[in-house]
Chain A
Amino acid sequence: MPAAAFNVNEADRSWVDALCTPHPLATLTQPIELTGSYRRIAAMSYVLATQNPAALFDGFARLHEK
């Protein structure tokens, strides 16, 4: 995906595109196995970048608030 698709700031786009590499496909298709113990971690935060927002993450930030 080109950096522009993720709304990377314009000054960094060509740098990001030059260093990105293909991503191993199976990492995106393997379902995650969880026991749920990570939910016991007291300090859990969501940082949503708003200066150059990528719409994909708005939904996750809202989900995290719940």
Chain B
Amino acid sequence: MPDQTIVLVHGAWHGAWCYRRVAELLRRSGYRVYTPTLTGLGERSHLLSRSINLSTHIADIANLIRWEEIEQFVLVGHSYGGMVVTGVADAMSDRVSALVYLDGILATAGKRSTPSSAGSGRRAASKCEGKQRAVGSANARCGVQCQ
């Protein structure tokens, strides 16, 4: 039903780029579509730092809603984005007309998206080390590598 606003939230390691095709299709159908890139990722990867946490990413989306003055919207989260959209929806449930998990992680209060310690992230990072793209050393120290 066009004239609706859809906010698509990407998953870990990704950015707005992953929604390029689907956003185009939705816009052609008449929907207003936002594909914000979460802080530290994609075209905002130059901002990567240790201080970026789940609250930062929830604020990224909540601020988009506030400053774009979006009254009602369909909120979609893919993978890790499922955690983010749950946090956003919890903070502004009156504005969310539909909440969609698109191959998304379901959040449970008090739980984090990774089941084990941060060490597992670091292990995963080192496991992928051989394949990773060249990134700044500062980035490499605070981010989990994706490739």
Contact = CB atoms under 8 A, between A and B. Distances in A.
Interface residues of A, number: 40
Interface in A15-62: 16-38, 40-41, 43-49, 54, 57, 60
B15 A19 contact: yes
B146 A21 contact: yes
B83 A32 contact: yes
Nearest to A3: B147
Interface residues of B, number: 68
Interface string B104-131: 1111111111100110011011001001
A19 B16 CA distance: 10
A22 B144 contact: yes
Contact of A29 (B38, B39, B101, B118): B118
B143 A23 contact: yes
A34 B40 CA distance: 24
B13 A25 contact: no
Interface of A: 1-3, 16-38, 40-41, 43-49, 54, 57, 60, 63-64
Interface of B: 12-15, 17-18, 38-42, 45, 48-57, 79-80, 82-83, 86-87, 89-90, 93, 96-114, 117-118, 121-122, 124-125, 128, 131, 133, 135, 139-140, 142-147
